[in-house]
Each structure stands twice: as C-alpha cells, then as structure tokens.
Structure 1
Amino acid sequence: MNVSMDQLNALLRHSLHNQDTAANLSEPITSWVINKDNMSANGSVAVKRDEKLVILEITILSVIFILIVFGNCCVLVAIQLHKSKANRMYYFLQHLSISDTITALFNVLPQLIWEITYRFNGGNVLCKVIKYLQIFGPYLSSYVLVMTAIDRYQVICNPLSNCGWTPSRSKLMIKIAWIVSLMCCSPQLYIFSYQEIPGNPGVYDCWVNKYPKVKISTFPKPWGERIYVTWYAISVFIIPFMILTVTHYHICREIWLNLHKKRKSFRLNKNRDNVSMKAMKQNELDSDSVNSSQTNSANVLVSVGKSFRFKGRGKLEVSLDKDFGDDFSPRTHSIHGLSRAKIKTVKITVVVILCYIMCSTPFICVQLWAYWVPTAQQSHIWNDYRELNRKSTTII
C-alpha cells in the first residue's frame, strides 16, 4: 500500500503526541527511526529504535545503578560498624542512604530493565507498583533531607530546646518523612495502567491514562496535566528547597553572630589583661627596695585562666613567652574552632543547596515549560532534548 510522505509524517507526529506524558516522570522516551520499507501491508508504521543509543542508555543506567548501590552500601556498613558511637546525625544519614538505595532499586533498575525489553511486560498491577515506587525514592530523599536540616536548626539555633531532645523525636521526624512521601506518590496508582498503545494493535505498555478514544483519559483537558506537573514540582522540589534555604540561612546567621560575640568578648578580656600587666610593671618598680640578698630566689609566674599566682620571694618578675600583641589570643583554640565550624557549615550549606538545585531544576523547569507553554511540545527544543531530560530524571 502506497503512503505519501505527508501522511507518514502526520501519522508519526500523532503517534509521538499520544505517547508524551506529564506525569510519567521517568517514562522511556523512545528514539524513532522511520523508513519507507517499514510500512506494513495495512499501512501501519513499524517503529524501530536506534540500537546504538539504546546501548548507550543501558550502559549509563548500569553505571549509575552500580555507583548508587555501592556507595550507599558503604555508608550503611560504616554506620553499622560505628553503631556504638552513633548519634542522631548518623540516624538521619542512614535513612538518607536508604532513600537513595530505594531510588536505585525501584527507579534506576526498572528503567534499566525497561530499556532492555523495550516494552513493559509486567502486567497492570506491576505497572502501577513500579510507577508508584519510581518517584517514591526522590520524594523520600527530599523530605529526609528536610528533616535533617530541621534537626540541625534545632541543635544550633535553639540549644535549650535541644536539651530535651529524645531519640523518639528523631524517629518521629523520619516517620513523618516516610508518610508524606508515600502519600505524595499515591496519584501514580490512578494515573498509570498497562494498556494497548493506540495505533499499535496488540502492543501493550505501561502508559499514562490519556487516550480519550478508548475512554481511559485521566487528565481533563487542557488543565489536568498542568495541575499534576505543577503539583509534582511544588511537592518534590519547591517546598523542600524553601525549607532548606530558610533553615540553613538561620544556621549560618547564628554561627556568625556567635563568632562575633566571641571575638568581642576576647577583645574585652585582652584590654583587661593589658591593664593588669601595667599594674604588675608598676609593682615591679616599687619592689626595687627589697633586700638584694633575696634577688636570687626563684621567681615563678603561674598563669591559670585570667588569674596570676606568684611563687618565690623577692623581686617580682613577669616572664612571658609571647607579648600581648595583636596576634595573642588566650582562647585562640575556641575562636578558631568556631571559625572552622562556621566555614564548614557555610560550605555544607552551599554544597547541599547547589547540588539540590543542579539535580532538580533542569527537569522541573522543562516539565513546567512543556505543559504551560502551548507551543512547547511542538518546538524542536522539546523534541531534541526530551531524551536528555529523561536521563536527568533518572540521575536525580
């Protein structure tokens, strides 16, 4: 049967349009290669994949899976080996590693198998379970990170309330993170199903319910997809990002103010010590009348904190290893310790927020752009970069 190129292109665009989805946040976007020889007798289009691209995808997913599992297993083993010294930060870190492991096992691994088999072959129940668990890992990672930030905020900014902190409170925070994540994933159970692909008789896959012709459409047009994509962006990225920003801002501010108070207190102590030294020098001049036979006696200065004790008789003598100059600091170790803590906290804050932004922003922005801009999905940018967009989702 002869089919014109215009008809072929129209059929291809229709097929691609039916398979694009907002809610399938880790859905395989297939690379299509169409040839005239791939036309069947009834005029349907036989679709093939770019095998070189498939091999590259499988290789990348395999490497990501191995790195995630190996790295997080090392962290979990290290925490278990230091269980006797574990504190609540270890507890939060443990659950953060567990959430990353869940992402590897239920997001990356199913996606890897899906790339190998090309079509989903697990049936309707497994389709819904996989789609549910594929976004559970990212949700859990986000909210465990939020609970960790809240815990650090309590420790640094509210130290008095921290005195009454119990292990059960940390467990409650982690339970809240798990419950919120499980609830946020629940729409996936309704949105996806194992169904026949329109235009491909006998071909089934795990797709979003959006085909009005077969009466299984999930999203009301045109705002249904926009609402779900916006909801996902707010719940998995925007809300956690705002909480992380606020808590880490207050943490850095508190450490900065604490350091400023320490330095101010040190300057006051330094001035007080300088006054004491002047009085001691005056006492030294007044003691010149003491009998010279006693001048060879041992004269020892013992410094304890802010007080001075003198041993020996005769002329008073103050011997210092270092003058009270600008570089002298009787409590240098504490001030330097605070300075290191401040710098470390600032670095951690910057790293956490930047990594969160870099890993999540590209995918979230592309999804919002694709479903809020009417002409976005017809643009060459969407068609050229949606495969890269899917890869970024898997890495997240």
Structure 2
Amino acid sequence: MDIDEKVSGPGGASQKNWTHLNTSDELPLDMRFNHGHMVSITVYSVLMVVSATGNLTVLSQLVKRRRAGRASRLDVLLMHLAVADLMVTFLMMPLEIAWAGTVQWLAGDLMCRLMMFTRTFGLYLSSFVLICIAIDRYYAILKPLNVTWEAHVRRALLIAWVCAGLASLPQSFIFHLEEHPDVKGYYQCVSYGSLPTESHEFAYFLLNMALMYVAPLLSTLYCSSAALLEIIRRANTANDKMRRSGVGILGRARARTLKMSVTIVLVFFTCWSPYYCYCLWYWIDKDIVNHLDPAFQKAMWLFSCTNSCANPIVYGVFNRNRWTWRSGAHVRNRGSSMRRGSRFPHGDSMEISAATLARARFSLHSERTSRRDSARSFVTQNGTQKHLNNNNKTNGIV
C-alpha cells in the first residue's frame, strides 16, 4: 500500500490530499497507468516467483518429513512460517499486481474490505510465527530438557493465528470504497476519513508497527542474547557437567541455533527497518515526505516484502545439511558406542530429549568404563604381559 492511498497500517503511513485536483478531461499522472505502475508489476512478479519457489520447496520438504513421522518441533514451526509467507505470496502480491494494473479499485466495497484483511493477515502471521520460533529456540538452547514448552507449541501456533486475525480485523472496518469527489466514476479503496483525528491514525500506525515489527524483533534479540550469554557462561565454567560428559552434540546444536537466530534478526531488521523508518519520518515531518518522489516510498514497501522471499533461504541454508544428514543420520564420538545410523527423536538434531541425553551419558559412561577395564586387564611388567583382576587396584596401575 502506498502513501498516496492513505495508509494507516502495513503498507504505508499516510495519504496525500487527493481531493484537490484540476477538473480537466485528463486524469493526473498518478491516477493513470504509468511507468511506476509497470515497475511495481514487474518487481512484484519477480518477488512472487522467487517467494513461491522457495516457500513451496521448504513446505514440500517439511510435509515429506511429517508424513514419514520424522517432523520435529522446529519443522512444525517452519511449516507454519512457510504457509504465512505463501499467504503473502499468493494473496498480497497478486493483489498489488492487479491493483497496479487497474490503478483504481474495481472490485467493490466488500472485496475492498476483505482483501485489506487478507493483505495484512499473512504479514502478521509471519511476524507472530517468528516470535514462536524465537521462544522455541530459547528453550531448545537454554532448557533442552524442558517438556512444558514442547507440549504448548501447537497452542502457541494457534494463538499466533488468532492474533494475526485479530490484528488484521481493523483493516476491514478502516478501509472502504470511496468515489473521487472531482472525478465521477473513479473509485479507490482507502482508509481516508475512517479515523476521527490524525492522533488516532498515528496511534493505529504505532500499534501496527509494534505488533508487526517491534515485537518479533525484540523477542528474537532477547532470545538470541540470552542464548549467547548462556553459551559464554558455560564455556567459561570449568565444572560444566555437559562439557565434562563429552556430549558435544549440544554444543553444535547451540552454535547452529545461535547463528540461525542472529541471521533471522539481521534479515528481518534489514527488510523492514527502511520502511518503518520512512513511515516514522512521515509522521515527524509530513511536508518533506510529501515532496519526495513516490517511487521512493514504493521502493521501501517493495523491499520489506522481500522478507517473505528471504525466510525460506535463511532456513534452507541452516537446515540443508540437517535434512541431508538425516537420510544417513549418525553421531560421531571418539568411541563407537554411539553407532552410525542413530537418530534423534523426531528427527531434529537441535532438539535433544531427556531420553536421548540419558542414552548418550550411559553410552559414554560405558565406553569410559570399558577403556578403563581394558587398561587394567593388560599391563606389561618386566617384559611379561599379566592379566590383572578388575577389582584389584594394588598391582601398580596408576
């Protein structure tokens, strides 16, 4: 949604006063199909193809894993994120393409309200699922044995869907079809005049910004920071039980989780920050922003939409080896007690259950006991190999 169309929520921040027009036979350039609309159609089409390809690929892989009974908690979250991005891809982007092609709104008031709801639903859902993923990674890295969160993941996802619907619902009441006062027969889907004052419009914009941008950003930053501090603390603790037990899988899982979380923050921040900074700039100094090239604002909004394309790339990069690795999953240790072909529960190397951890500890303990017994069993003394009793500790073995 562009600034010229009155934006109270996602997609823009304001509206130019389009009621003051010259009553000439020819419509102004911004009310006719122009080069800017052609660029918008081209860019949205490219984004749609890239996003559809990436998210459908990720979703198909996750569905295969679920059908095979190997879907992890993270896989379920990624599946919902892919669905959210596909909603942006197949609902919002085609709408933008069609709207840029017709310039004015031709679908009537009901479709105006309905499409404004669906237009933001996918964006909100994507943000709320990111919050769920941040919390999930927090528990996976700091509290891997906590079963409470695992039991509430599906409930958290349900809350994310409900919250996305509630956050998008005001769009159906704010946006409406309105005829141009000076050009008969020219209709546009706008939010102009729906809120009583500019203070209400600004408050609504801040609410949208808080839910769609600030909340997922802060939650991911907090969870990533907490994970980093915990890893540093445990790395510097000489008596760290996990480290002394030799279970290096936890360390590798934490490192990969931390990298993925930081990448999520960087990508999300990179995609959405320019747009929201531009919106805030508008509310601070409308006169300057209204004199800027409208193409600049369009570019900010288009760039924010690339987040739906970037998400499958981010998760694909960090889980590509895991998906490939699962086809011949194995855990390498110095010993052979954890044999090749062993798999983690639910197929997620970053989620280690209590049973798996207990087996790993038992296996390592057995391995060390076996090595100690072997060392005690054979010793060379005076050039002769003697068999020692395992319980006899008085034969010079140090």
Q: Does 1:253 align with 2:237?
A: no
| 1:195 partner SS | strand
- Report Cα offsets for 1:180-200 as digits up to 9, x if no partner: 111111110111111102322
In structure 2, the CA distance between the partners of 1:102 and 1:238, relative to structure 1 (3 Å rule), is same
Find the counterpart in structure 1 of residue 211 from structure 2.
Answer: 235
Cα distance, 1:44 vs structure 2 = 5.3
CA distance in 1, matches of 2:122, 2:80: 11
Cα distance, 1:390 vs structure 2 = 3.1
Say which structure, 1 or 2, has more relative contact order (CA 8 Å, 6+ apart): 2
| 1:120 partner SS | coil
Q: Does 1:131 align with 2:43?
A: no
In structure 2, the CA distance between the partners of 1:247 and 1:75, relative to structure 1 (3 Å rule), is same
TM-score (ref. length: structure 1): 0.67
In structure 2, the CA distance between the partners of 1:147 and 1:44, relative to structure 1 (3 Å rule), is same
Query: Which range moved further: 197-206 or 104-113?
Result: 197-206
CA distance in 2, matches of 1:87, 1:72: 18
Q: Does 1:391 align with 2:302?
A: yes
- Report Cα offsets for 1:61-92 as digits up to 9, x if no partner: 11111111121111111112122211111110
Q: Does 1:189 align with 2:165?
A: no
| 2:177 partner SS | strand
Which amino acid counterpart does residue 154 of structure 2 have in structure 1? Answer: K
CA distance in 1, matches of 2:13, 2:105: 10
| 2:178 partner SS | strand
Aligned with residue 370 of structure 1, among 253, 268, 282:
282
Q: Does 1:202 align with 2:185?
A: yes
Q: Does 1:175 align with 2:155?
A: no
CA distance in 1, matches of 2:242, 2:48: 52
Find the counterpart in structure 2 of residue 163 from structure 1.
Answer: 147
| 1:375 partner SS | helix
CA distance in 1, matches of 2:199, 2:269: 27
8 Å CA contact retained: 1:29, 1:386: no
8 Å CA contact retained: 2:6, 2:14: no
Find the counterpart in structure 1 of residue 198 from structure 2.
Answer: 222
Note the aligned Cα RMSD (angstroms): 3.1
> Sequence identity, in percent?
23
CA distance in 2, matches of 1:130, 1:27: 16
Cα distance, 1:353 vs structure 2 = 0.6
In structure 2, the CA distance between the partners of 1:106 and 1:50, relative to structure 1 (3 Å rule), is closer
Q: Does 1:113 align with 2:98?
A: yes
In structure 2, the CA distance between the partners of 1:343 and 1:266, relative to structure 1 (3 Å rule), is closer
| 1:261 partner SS | coil
8 Å CA contact retained: 1:69, 1:104: yes
Find the counterpart in structure 1 of residue 65 from structure 2.
Answer: 82
Which amino acid counterpart does residue 228 of structure 1 have in structure 2? Answer: Y
| 1:346 partner SS | helix
| 1:184 partner SS | helix
In structure 2, the CA distance between the partners of 1:107 and 1:88, relative to structure 1 (3 Å rule), is same
8 Å CA contact retained: 1:29, 1:390: no
| 1:186 partner SS | helix
Query: Which range moved further: 54-63 or 338-347?
Result: 338-347
8 Å CA contact retained: 1:192, 1:206: yes
Query: Structure 1 stretches of 5 or more lacking a match?
Result: 1-15, 31-38, 211-216, 270-304, 306-330
Find the counterpart in structure 1 of residue 262 from structure 2.
Answer: 350
- Report Cα offsets for 1:246-267 as digits up to 9, x if no partner: 1121122223333333687799
- Report Cα offsets for 1:5-24 as digits up to 9, x if no partner: xxxxxxxxxxx99x452325
CA distance in 1, matches of 2:79, 2:97: 26
Query: Which range moved further: 254-263 or 236-245?
Result: 254-263
In structure 2, the CA distance between the partners of 1:50 and 1:43, relative to structure 1 (3 Å rule), is closer
- 4+ aligned runs moved over 4 Å, structure 1: 27-30, 164-167, 262-267
Find the counterpart in structure 1 of residue 373 from structure 2.
Answer: none
Cα distance, 1:108 vs structure 2 = 0.7
The alignment of Structure 1 onto Structure 2 pairs a total of residues equal to 297
Query: Structure 2 stretches of 5 or more lacking a match?
Result: 16-21, 308-398
In structure 2, the CA distance between the partners of 1:28 and 1:130, relative to structure 1 (3 Å rule), is farther
CA distance in 2, matches of 1:180, 1:104: 20
Cα distance, 1:96 vs structure 2 = 0.5
In structure 2, the CA distance between the partners of 1:342 and 1:87, relative to structure 1 (3 Å rule), is closer
| 2:236 partner SS | helix
Find the counterpart in structure 2 of residue 102 from structure 1.
Answer: 87
In structure 2, the CA distance between the partners of 1:139 and 1:150, relative to structure 1 (3 Å rule), is same
Larger radius of gyration: 1
8 Å CA contact retained: 1:226, 1:372: no
In structure 2, the CA distance between the partners of 1:262 and 1:107, relative to structure 1 (3 Å rule), is farther
CA distance in 1, matches of 2:187, 2:154: 43
Query: Which range moved further: 137-146 or 239-248?
Result: 239-248
8 Å CA contact retained: 2:114, 2:172: yes
